[in-house]
Structure 1
Amino acid sequence: MSHTEVDLFVIGGGINGAGIARDAAGRGLKVVLCEKDDLAEGTSSRSGKLVHGGLRYLEYYEFRLVREALIEREVLMNAAPHIIWPLRFVLPHSPDDRPAWLVRLGLFLYDHLGGRKKLPGTRVLNLLRDPEGAPVLDRYTRGFEYSDCWVDDARLVILNAVDAAERGAVVLTRSPCTSARRENGGWTVTTTNTVTGETQTFRAKVLVNAAGPWVSDVVTRVAGSQSPRNVRLVKGSHIIVPKFWEGANAYLVQNHDKRVIFINPYEGDKALIGTTDISYEGRAEDVTCDEEEIAYLLAAVNRYFKEKLRREDVIESFSGVRPLFDDGQGNPSAVTRDYVFDLDETGNAPLLNVFGGKITTFRELAERGMHRLKKFFPAMGADWTHGAPLPGGEIENADYEAFRETIKARYPWMPRELRKHYGRLYGARIEQIVGDALGLDGLGRHFGGTLYEAEVRYLVAHEWAETAEDILWRRTKHRLHLSEPEQAAFAEWFAATQAKAA
């Protein structure tokens, strides 16, 4: 049987797998990444969409994790200023929950643990006087405001995969690893494309298992191996509602059960609210947000705000399964968000299993994972990702506000909302979509909102988009801005276009 020789084979197209593939390819290794579905289709597109240190992790004495995440926050801001930007969080203080002194201590540590350079620090708010308190119930008179960052989580995965591919990696989507066997000091790995049926075989020196919620399944069922470590699956659900306050700030509220709920501005006129923390025993593919979780999130918001949300205000909900490293904690909220590597060198065929992790620390995780594998690749390149921009992030001084003016000057004919959409998703690579168009007619068919044919063709050609959902929900969030008839018309056009191209 013919096969392709590679150095590193990565299973899993979420943030950790894409990050590892990018890092390894940039070191000169020959890399293949396979994903059983679409990139970021699992956990990595269903997060709270934050690059943050994890303020609440301080309560569990995760000081090292918080510090490392805060340092990474600024690294990622510089690498991808188009999809990662500062966000100010208002925390109304409830004397029924955590005492004010504890909150202030936590925020002081948060400001100083990670060597903050770019983001403003914490300030105390009078919620009866300051404008940030206007939507909050009058019983909450005191609050705090601190900084973290927003991220388009699915695009973060895509951009890592794009960078990996541009550095020579092969990225296979909808191609699960159907078998991985140790043979003659290496791995024989087989993938099967679920759309075309095509089977490919690779011969890899090292196998990396970054399958997220499916990591244990890959260890035992696919690779026929064993690991003393395991993941604990925790379900986190979010809801999307119309935005109900003025201003660009977000809110963080403390619920009766000590959990914190984020209420973030989303897609301009909407709000993203979450998350829950519930132990999950089912198949990760089957996870959904249930009515009890929706009621819980609505109640948490209504406890603090004058405008009361109702069930019919929920535009959309989604749920993800966090593959947390099982550290034996009973409370799902207390389970560590740190990551752990398990390196199995049986038969001189190394298998690196990745357990846990969070979006903010993916780059560091990838770098440390490669450190663990250096002895197998002594000639590989040095660390390089710390100062390297992600695709589209090649913006001078990582100054996105100045870049906005550049876009405006370059495309004076382009409507403001379209400039914002292209700038935020594609950054410095906007010209690859617009090409030599001199007006909207040059962008091809218009499907509604800010969706034009030129963007669709770019996503198919460069970002592995194969279905209407890939485009409307993971590569972009057009689904939230198109009517149901517009979505149906686009899906029909896209299916016909893809069939013609096949």
Structure 2
Amino acid sequence: MHDILVVGGGINGCGIARDAAGRGYSVVLAEMKDLASGTSSWSTKLIHGGLRYLEHYEFRLVREALKEREVLWRNAPHIIWPMRFVLPYAQGLRAAWLIRLGLFLYDNIGGRKLLPATRTLDMRSDPAGLPLKPLFTRAFEYSDCWVDDARLVALNARDAADRGAEILTRTKLVQARRSGDHWRATLENTLSGERREVTARLIVNAAGPWVDHVLAEALEAHEKRHVRLVQGSHIVVRRKSDDPRAYFFQNRDNRIIFAIPYERDFTLIGTTDRDYRGEPGAAAITAEETDYLCAAASEYFREPVRREDIVWTYSGVRPLFDDGASKAQEATRDYVIKADGEPNKAPIVNIFGGKITTYRKLAESMMEQIEALIGRKGPAWTLAAALPGGDFPVEGFEAERTAVMRDYTFLSQEEAHRLLRLYGTRARAILRTANSAADLGQHFGHGLTEAEINYLIKEEWALTAEDVLWRRTKTGLHLNEEQALAVDAYMRRTAPPHQKAAE
């Protein structure tokens, strides 16, 4: 019997599985699709306090998130790194004194130690002003962090497995019924149709946008709806600026968007906020959202953002706790944990809401609930524990790249950079004893090799070309159709037997 069955392979589910396994609990995690295939890979890619949440008086959430920025950066310096954000002052919108007050709080309520403080920019002389219209003469520059969101999920899952958790992707919870003080759960492999039964003392429902579906369908618990589904969409265009800084743009409807350097060659622009009704996995950007993002960015950039500039779009559904807010952008981003347990009956704990930045703290809060329900095992431990590949100092990336290029002389600087940003010190598990590029097997483009794909299949549960190209890496942005088809063909040849049985 397992101690805990976690339903959902997004950031919350994988973070909880990791924390619980590290404390000595027996854990099995079931994800009906691929890791991070839902909300957790469709974010704006930020580890941030949420400057705009101050306007809604969410001081506890902002303070917790600000404190987590440097914790997560230290634990995963390969996939998380600092980024400076330029907030141009726009006449007729938020007053300059209000922005300065907000940034003063942002700098000082979260225990900032490593990230640089806010400063004021003269946009007539600062390089950050070059891509923008000349009417923006003043700006404020502040700090947050960038994250490869899908890799954050995969690395939490990998660490959970390394600590004893069983990670089951393409596995759906079909049914769960109480049997005294434990659960009997039926899990189904969505590719082969094969079913298995597992028993667990407690269920964690971390299914994100599907949390209410799990309650209603698998557990037949017809409760009041707790989740408010809010769609956020992004567009990706060719790089708008050579400057490494991101932009924070205010809009006249009181919303904001970001324009962020992305995958070296692109700019990521988003996000939108609109209520969503429908199947969470079917969310797609609308014509209205596309026009909104293009128009909002064009208010600031000298060179307008047009539909024909877009090279990729993505949309995700955020499972916010339904707090009755009148507007989607005003709904709380805080998380709510609700336990359902009676004496001598197996408990379930549900998660509503949350954001990537606070996933580790959410997991710690969840562990407090779990300890109260099924007993305590090991102590909290994730505060200073590196994620796989992140075992080097926050200022040590260049030293790692130099060392890898010294040991693997056939790698270009760009190739070494890409591998270390994705895998950190575990890049060596891909490169192994290679003495030449040919030793890494077939090359598919943009540095993606057979050796890397084999590593992702073996160590990170990748089963399809989409898993590799759009979640474990973002090489899908760089490969042409022929190259992407070659990856797909390779994955089909190399896939584990249970995937082949389903084709």
Tell me the TM-score range normalised by the shorter chain: over 0.9
Which residue, 130, 144, 152 being the options, matches 2:140?
A: 144
- Decide which of 127, 135, 138 is 2:131's aligned counterpart: 135
Contact 1:227 1:342 in 2 (8 A): no
Shift of 1:413: 2.0
SS of alignment partner, residue 201 of structure 1:
strand
Matching residue of 2:483: 486
Counterpart selection for 2:473 from 471, 476, 480 = 476
Residue type at the aligned position of 1:345: G
Residue type of the alignment partner of 1:450: G
Deviation at 1:409, TM superposition (A): 2.3
Shift of 1:228: 5.2
Partner of 1:495: 492
Give the distance between the partners of 2:326 and 2:80, measured in 1 at CA.
Answer: 33
> Retained in 1: the 8 A contact 2:67–2:111?
yes
**Change over 3 Å in CA distance of 1:371–1:329 after alignment to 2:** same
Length-normalised TM-score, structure 2 = 0.97
Correspondence for 1:298: 294
Q: CA 1:248–1:189 in structure 2 vs 1: closer, same or farther (change >3 Å)? A: same
2:7 is matched with which residue?
Answer: 11
Q: Tell me, in whole angstroms, the C-alpha distance in 1 between the residues paired with 2:253 and 2:362.
A: 31
CA distance in 1, matches of 2:107, 2:494: 51
Map 1:19-30 to 2 at 5 A. Answer: 19-30=15-26
Q: CA deviation at 1:115?
A: 0.8
Q: Which amino acid aligns with 1:349?
A: A
Distance 1:267 1:488 in 2: 21
Contact 1:78/1:398, CA 8 A, preserved across alignment: no
Residues of 2 paired with 1:43 and 1:9: CA distance?
20
CA contact (8 A) 1:19 1:366 kept: yes
Instruction: Determine if contact 2:77/2:394 at 8 Å carries over to the other structure.
Output: no
For residues 376 and 308 of structure 1, the distance between their equivalents in structure 2, rounded to whole angstroms, comes to 56
What count of residue pairs does the alignment treat as equivalent? 498
**Shift of residue 405 of structure 1?**
2.3
Partners of 2:326 and 2:489 in 1: how far apart? 48
- Verify the 8 A CA contact 2:39 2:317 in the aligned structure 1: yes
Counterparts of 1:189 and 1:36 in 2: how far apart (Å)?
14
- Determine whether 1:71 maps to 2:64: no
What whole-Å deviation, never above 9, does each CA across 1:49-71 have from its counterpart, x for those lacking one?
00000000000001110000000
Match of 1:107 among 82, 100, 103: 103
How far does the alpha carbon of each residue in 1:160-204 deviate from its partner, in whole angstroms, 9 at most, with x for none?
000000000000001000001011111111100011222111110
**% same residue:** 53
The residue that corresponds to 1:435 in the other structure is 432
Aligned-partner Cα distance in 1 for 2:395–2:192:
41
SS in 1 for 2:35: coil
Is contact 1:229-1:342 (8 Å) kept? no
Q: Distance in 2 between matches of 1:62 and 1:379?
A: 31
Partner of residue 208, structure 1: 204
Contact 1:14 1:212 in 2 (8 A): yes
Task: Write the letter of the residue equivalent to 1:145.
Answer: E
Residue of structure 2 aligned with 1:418, choices 415, 422, 425? 415
> Does the alignment pair 1:370 with 2:367?
yes
Letter in 2 for 1:424: R
SS in 2 for 1:486: helix
Partner of 1:423, secondary structure, is: helix
The residue correspondences of 1:29-48 to structure 2 (distance < 5 A) are: 29-48=25-44
When residues 313 and 339 of structure 1 are mapped into structure 2, their CA distance, relative to the original with a 3 A threshold, is same
Structure 2 residue matching 1:321: 3-state secondary structure: strand
For residues 37 and 497 of structure 2, the distance between their equivalents in structure 1, rounded to whole angstroms, comes to 26
1:173, 1:398 → 2: CA distance? 35
How do residues 80-95 of structure 1 correspond to structure 2 at under 5 angstroms? 80-95=76-91
In structure 1, C-alpha distance between the alignment counterparts of 2:497 and 2:345, rounded to whole Å? 47
Write the distance in 2 (CA, Å) between the matches of 1:335 and 1:125.
32
Give 1:401 deviation, angstroms.
2.9
Residue 90 of structure 1 contacts residue 145 of structure 1 at CA under 8 Å; is this kept in 2? yes
Q: Which amino acid in structure 1 is aligned with residue 143 of structure 2?
A: S
2:336 aligned with 1:336 = no
Q: Do 1:289 and 1:319's aligned partners in 2 also have CA atoms closer than 8 Å?
A: yes
Asked if the contact 2:408/2:434 (under 8 Å) is kept, the reply is no
Taking a change above 3 Å as real, the CA distance of residues 499 and 230 of structure 1, as seen in their structure-2 partners, is closer
| SS of residue in 1 equivalent to 2:241 | coil
Determine if the alignment matches structure 1 residue 467 to structure 2 residue 471. Answer: no
- Note the C-alpha offset of 1:286: 1.0
Q: Distance in 2 between matches of 1:286 and 1:397?
A: 38
Q: 1:232 aligns with which of 203, 228, 233?
A: 228
Contact 1:8–1:31, Cα closer than 8 Å, also in 2:
yes
- Listed as ranges, the gaps of 5+ residues in structure 2 are none
Q: 1:163 aligns with which of 152, 159, 166?
A: 159
Cα distance in 2 between the residues matched to 1:379 and 1:113: 32
Q: Does 1:320 align with 2:350?
A: no
